[in-house]
Amino acid sequence: MDSFTQAVVKHKKIIFFAFVVASVICAGLATLVPVNYNTVDYLPGDAQSTIAIKVMEEELGGELPNARVMLANVTILEALVYKEKLAAIDGVESVSWLDDMIGLDTLKTTPLEFLDASIVENYYKDNYAVFSLSIESGKEHSCVKAIYELIGENNAVAGEAVNIAETQEMSVSEVLNAMVILLPVIIVILLLSTTSWVEPLLFLLTIGVAIAINMGTNIILGEISFITRTVSPVLQLAVSLDYAIFLLHSFNEHRRKHEPGTAMKLAMKQSFSTVAASAATTAIGFAALIFMRFGIGADLGLNLLKGIVFSFIAVMVFMPVLTLMLYKAIDKTKHRRLVPDMKNAGNLLLRTRIPLLILALLVAVPCFLAQSNTEFIYGLGSVTATSRAGEDLLLIDEKFGRENPLVLLVPRDDAGKEAELSADLSEIPHVTSVVSFVTAVGAEIPPEFVPREALQQFYSENYSRFILYTDTAEEGEEAFAAVQAVMDTAAMYYDTYYLAGQSATLYDMQKIVSLDTGRINLVAVIGIFLVLLITFRSLSIPVLLVFSIETAIWINLSVPYFTGQALNFVGYLVISTVQLGATVDYAILLTNAYLRNREDLPKKDAIKAAIGSNLAAILISAIILATAGFTLAFTSANPIISELGFLLGRGTLLSLAMVAGVLPALLLLFDKVVQKTTLNGKFH
């Protein structure tokens, strides 16, 4: 350690230049990292719906219909012209309309009143026409923009592709919006809690360099999710500012007796273990997300883990250099500490410890059960609910009814078997129609007598395609029940089958996420428990600390259940590990102080002193993290990000309440147990 600190202090200019160059290069690279807005792409490769889409693309080509366009006040011929214009837009792979169902010549030459009304009214009624489009993945934003320009304000477009495009539009400036509000608030908090006007600048420059390097190195990953791009910089800033505060506080202490270079060496040595332990617990919480099979969690977890590593390196290498270069400015801008002394807070919290402990124990079990039964949202429908896309969806559903297609692929077999399957599929609740070769052409007509273009709609070399139209929402009990019923029906006829469609994808997502939830929570708890076990060399202390933070998490995640709100699954998965990893530091700080004081003081005096000397630091850290969460909540137009922000802000405050109000009571209550289960512990 001595040689490391010596090297850092000796080579200040080289280190400073290297970090500045790296951050500038990485800031440029960060703008080149592709962002993925389609959550479906993060399903594992062995998911049923993922395999179905792959098989369908290989066998039949094209993508599933993922958008609907409705035109008002158009004739049949005008609608056909619009169909050609829609098909010509870059990114539109196919456009389906009435002519594909009954034939173009028939549509042009036969009066509407002589056509099958049950078919016609699915596509054209009261001079309104509705088209089904397949939009290429990755081109949703430009494609939807071109469609809007073509159809104008008085017509409508909706669907999953529109939701993705809207999500992309919302996410473009969200990080900037969040930082514009967050940075001034953090600067004010730091000014109040430090003793120099320059110190907040040191903190923000150090973590800013780490964020730039982290986001730029994402270029090696190929792409990141829109959630990672929006959330990662804000979380990295909020959770790693503590490391910089620890180091500078130690430096200021040693400056009283030593010259700046020596003081910094001593500060680096003294704060290394504290910063490393704090970073380790946070990193484990983030690393747990990597164990998710659903790729968004792994994407965000890897990015945050990488960010914590870069923040740790920046604090232990770049910040000492920056501080030594600016220490004269720090000295010249000294001011008195503006945060009030909290040494008397211990007396107040101790008087309320028993009621708070009883309250925590009473709510722990109900909140644990409640958060386990929270209803989740898996799709992007909530993102566009209040936008034009949401309004257009209501207009289309009102005119033509809700359309939620599923595509079933089964091995190509005899027409009689397919006719039986079609009949059974049409009997499933919420299946409004089944389009297959036997329903559109007829089981009695041999395929070789059917035009090649028409045949390709239903048959590949190996598979038959059935298109099922349902009237359910994309997700929910009815939609998922319909998906399961279709697969159960197909299983009665074939050993191999594949089901694709938005509901099928979200159904798989639900199953995978439900398994991920238990896995990553267990990994996070075990990992942090082991770090605490090593840190405190105690069997009981990790239990007390994990219980305190986990109870705060249960309360936080139970709120949606008790308020009757559905919670986006991303928020649930992320916050359960992020809140544990990011806020367990508060419990570590307080417990460390208690154990040090306990060597010389009775237990009540020890906890009073621990609270008095550490509550201000815990409070500042919690306010910064909570502010980051609430800033995301109020600046993001994306409900997924906004909801995650609320969970983070509320969860941080709950963790603060548990550490300040309940953990002291637990430490006093189990003091004798702690003594007996702590290795080489010294107690008064």
- Lowest average pLDDT, out of 68-77, 238-247, 660-669, goes to 238-247
Residue 214 has pLDDT above 90, yes or no: yes
Band (173; pLDDT cuts 50, 70, 90): low
Q: Residue 555's pLDDT is what?
A: 92
pLDDT beyond 60 at 615: yes
Mean pLDDT of 207-224: 91
- Given this model, what pLDDT does residue 442 score? 65
Model pLDDT, residue 51: 84
Q: Is 380 helix (H, G, I), strand (E, B) or coil?
A: coil
Q: Which two tokens stand for residue 182?
A: 């967050």
Which whole number is the average pLDDT over 635-660? 84
Per-residue pLDDT at 345 = 66
Q: What pLDDT does 202 receive?
A: 86
Higher pLDDT, residue 306 or 347? 306
Q: Tens of pLDDT along 395-439?
A: 888 888 777 888 888 888 777 788 888 888 888 888 888 877 777
What pLDDT, in 10s, does the model give residues 96-121? 888 877 777 777 777 777 777 777 88
- pLDDT single digits (tens) 473-518: 888 888 889 999 999 988 898 888 888 888 888 888 888 877 777 7
SS3 content of the chain, % helix, strand, coil (to 5): 70, 10, 20
681 pLDDT more than 70: no
pLDDT at res. 306: 93
Predicted local distance difference test score (pLDDT) of residue 594: 86
Q: Which helix (H) or strand (E) holds 332?
A: helix 319-332
What is the residue whose two structure tokens read 């509550």? 615
* pLDDT for position 195: 76
Average pLDDT over residues 258-283: 82
Question: What integer pLDDT is reported at residue 63 of this predicted model?
Answer: 65
Of residues 550, 551, 279, the one with CA closest to residue 287: 279
Tokens linked to 217: 């190195």
Sort 66 into a burial class: Cβ within 10 Å, 0-12 / 13-18 / 19+: buried
Mean pLDDT confidence for 296-322 = 90
So what's the pLDDT on residue 383? 58
The SS3 of residue 376 is strand
Distance CA 423, CA 420 (A): 5
Return the amino acid letter for 293. Answer: R
Average pLDDT over residues 198-214: 89
pLDDT tens digits, 546-597: 888 889 989 998 888 888 887 877 777 777 777 877 788 888 888 888 888 8
**What is the band of 25 on the pLDDT scale with cuts at 50, 70, 90?**
very high
Cα–Cα distance for residue pair 485/297, rounded to 1 Å: 30
For 638, phi then psi, to 5°, come to -85, 120
The domains of the chain, with CATH numbers, are: 1-32+173-339 (1.20.1640.10), 61-169 (3.30.70.240), 345-373+537-684 (1.20.1640.10), 389-506 (3.30.70)
Which of these, 226, 238, 223, lies nearest to 307 by C-alpha position?
Answer: 238
Specify the pLDDT at position 215: 92
pLDDT of residue 309: 92
In 3D, which of 140, 278, 169 has the Cα closest to residue 586?
A: 278
Cα distance between residue 2 and residue 6, in whole Å: 6
Q: Which residue has the higher pLDDT, 112 or 668?
A: 668
What is the mean pLDDT of the segment spanning 625-641?
A: 80
- Residue 446: per-residue pLDDT: 63
pLDDT in tens, 323-345: 888 878 887 887 776 666 666 66
For residues 455-477, average pLDDT: 80
pLDDT at position 653? 92
DSSP-derived secondary structure letter, 454: H
Q: Which residues contact 562 (CB under 8 A, 6 or more apart)?
A: 370
Range 357-374 average pLDDT: 87
The CA-based angle 268-272-278, given to 5 degrees, is: 140
pLDDT digits (tens, 9 = 90+) for 529-552: 888 888 888 888 889 998 888 899
Using DSSP, state whether 608 is helix, strand or coil.
helix
8 Å CB contact between 210 and 313:
yes
pLDDT given for residue 175 in this prediction: 67
Which spans in 411-501 are helix H?
A: 415-426, 437, 452-455, 477-491
Give the torsion through C-alpha atoms of 641, 644, 646, 651, to 10 deg. -160
Mean pLDDT of 197-213: 88
Mean pLDDT of 217-227: 88
* Ramachandran quadrant class, 256 (left: phi over 0; alpha: psi -120 to 50; beta: rest): alpha
pLDDT at 648 over 80: yes
Highest mean pLDDT among 204-213, 523-532, 605-614: 204-213
Q: Are 657 and 551 in contact (CB under 8 A)?
A: no
Say which residues have a Cβ less than 8 Å from residue 101's Cβ, sequence separation at least 6: 119, 123, 435, 440
> Using CA atoms, how far apart are residues 380 and 141, in angstroms rounded to an integer?
15
Give the residue carrying structure tokens 């608030």.
185
Query: pLDDT over 70 for what percent of the chain?
Result: 93
Q: Give the pLDDT band (50/70/90) at residue 386.
A: low
Which residues, including other chains, have CB under 8 Å from residue 344's CB and lie 6 or more apart? 612
CB within 8 A of 348, min separation 6: which ones?
none
Concatenating the DSSP letter of every residue in 42-102 gives GS-TTSHHHHHHHHHHHHH-S----EEEEESS--HHHHHHHHHHHHTSTTEEEEE-HHHHH
Mean pLDDT, rounded, of the chain: 82
